[in-house]
Amino acid sequence: MPESLRKTYKYKLKPTSEQERRLEDILWRCRRLYNTALEQRITLWKQRGVSLCAYTQSAELPDLRATLPDYAAIHSQVLQDVLARLEKTYQAFFRRVKTGQTPGFPRFQGSNRYNSFTYKQFGNGVTLDNGFLVLSKIGRVAVRWSRALAGTPKTVTLSREADGWYVCCSCADVPTQPLEPTGQETGIDVGLESFATLSDGTMIHNPRCYRKAERRLKTAQRRVSRRKKGGNRRRKAVKLLAKAHQTVKRQRQDFQHKTALALVRQFDTIYLEDLQVANMVRNHRLAKSINDAGWASFRTILEAKAAYAGRRVVAVPPVYTSQVCSGCGVIVSKGLSVRWHLCPDCGTSLHRDHNAARNIERAGQALRGEVA
Ligand SMILES: [Zn+2]
């Protein structure tokens, strides 16, 4: 059990309008650099079959900064990070090609998609002073300190959201705060109708506010498509749409944080399915992929909170978890539409997700037994 770990803190910024213009300007230039670097890679590959890496492209940065003063006015590490991001996208692309998937090729970034830039090294172009975030060539930016920062700041990312600018500080050596053991464990299954089910049968439902927010999102989307392109009214509608998206995202995050916190408080060990494996192994689980995006982010949150609280999250390979009877171990095959598990052998009768959660807990305990 580590005594400290890495953690990211996010705060809203309160830039002056001049500072905001400057932030927008840097973001715009970072996006241009990203797209130009991508174009360069594609062209060189097509013309000469040469593949570039971030290292070669970074070597060109001093020249770029020497010829274009607008880029000289951006911290060099911020620009290096832009190229590192491109490299990461490429590597992820090739990794997925290798594993037999058909990923989308790295794409050019529109102004709505490219929303952040990063200082890779705290103290180098970025620092804190008297409650202000001090950015080289931008100045002292005011921060809304919604909670205390702990540990040693390492990287700093500035991001633009629908309601303004935010700063994310990734800190190392953040002391953990272990909770007292409760002696309880649980398996947890992702559901189709509910968000998740625990092995004691508890169902966690998606909050009702989701539907309301989603309706509002649809209205906002329709409004945008009705309005004429290039017009002022459309621009306004696009802004409202971005806000609606942000609301949905916030609600989801809020729900996931609260759910994860409740689980971490109650259980010493939480077993869940390793769904990345599931998608490759089993096709009939694809219906669940609707939920998977949300599930992946929930898992990240849960694991971070568990690590911070000294709890364990164990991922279990998802073999037959929904088909095996949790009472006697016999295989009771059922299609996705069958929501109830009724075992003809031992008479076990419960919701299919409840049955799955019990199997996940058992598989996890067996797995831990082998490791220990
Ligand atoms: Zn049975």
> Where along the chain do its domains lie?
4-175, 185-371
Whether the per-residue pLDDT at 285 is higher than 70: the answer is: no
pLDDT band at 306 (very low <50, low <70, confident <90, very high): very high
- Considering only residues 279 and 110, tell me which one the structure prediction assigns the higher pLDDT: 110
- Considering only residues 59 and 276, tell me which one the structure prediction assigns the higher pLDDT: 59
Question: Residue 58's closest CA among 45, 70, 40?
Answer: 40
Residue 206 CB neighbours (<10 A): 18
The set of residues, in sequence order, having a beta carbon less than 8 Å from that of 35 and lying 6+ positions away, is: 108, 109
pTM beyond 0.85: the answer is no
Interatomic CA distance for residues 343 and 352, integer angstroms = 11
Interatomic CA distance for residues 133 and 196, integer angstroms = 40
How far, in Å, from the CA of 189 to the mean position of ligand 1?
A: 19
Interatomic CA distance for residues 345 and 342, integer angstroms = 9
Contact predicate 318/356, CB 8 Å: no
Contact predicate 191/203, CB 8 Å: yes
What's at 159, amino acid-wise? S
pLDDT for position 371: 58
Interatomic CA distance for residues 246 and 241, integer angstroms = 9
Bridge-based pairing state of the strands 185-190 and 196-198 = antiparallel
Interatomic CA distance for residues 238 and 113, integer angstroms = 14
How far, in Å, from the CA of 158 to the mean position of ligand 1?
A: 54
How far, in Å, from the CA of 348 to the mean position of ligand 1?
A: 5
Mean pLDDT of 351-357: 93
Bridge-based pairing state of the strands 132-135 and 152-161 = unpaired
| Cα–Cα distance list, 52 to 64, 86, 137 (Å) | 17, 11, 30
Chain segment 84-107, per-residue pLDDT in tens: 999 999 888 888 888 887 778 889
How far, in Å, from the CA of 357 to the mean position of ligand 1?
A: 15
Lowest model confidence (mean pLDDT) among 108-112, 188-192, 196-200, 232-236: 188-192
- Coil vs helix vs strand at 171: strand
Whether the per-residue pLDDT at 52 is higher than 60: the answer is: yes
Lowest model confidence (mean pLDDT) among 44-48, 86-90, 127-131, 184-188: 44-48
Whether the per-residue pLDDT at 276 is higher than 80: the answer is: no
How far, in Å, from the CA of 355 to the mean position of ligand 1?
A: 10
pLDDT band at 288 (very low <50, low <70, confident <90, very high): very low
Mean pLDDT of 144-156: 95
Structure tokens given for 330? 């016999």
pLDDT band at 290 (very low <50, low <70, confident <90, very high): very low
Q: Report the chain's mean pLDDT, rounded to a whole number.
A: 88
Residues identified as active-site: 189, 273, 353
Interatomic CA distance for residues 150 and 172, integer angstroms = 9
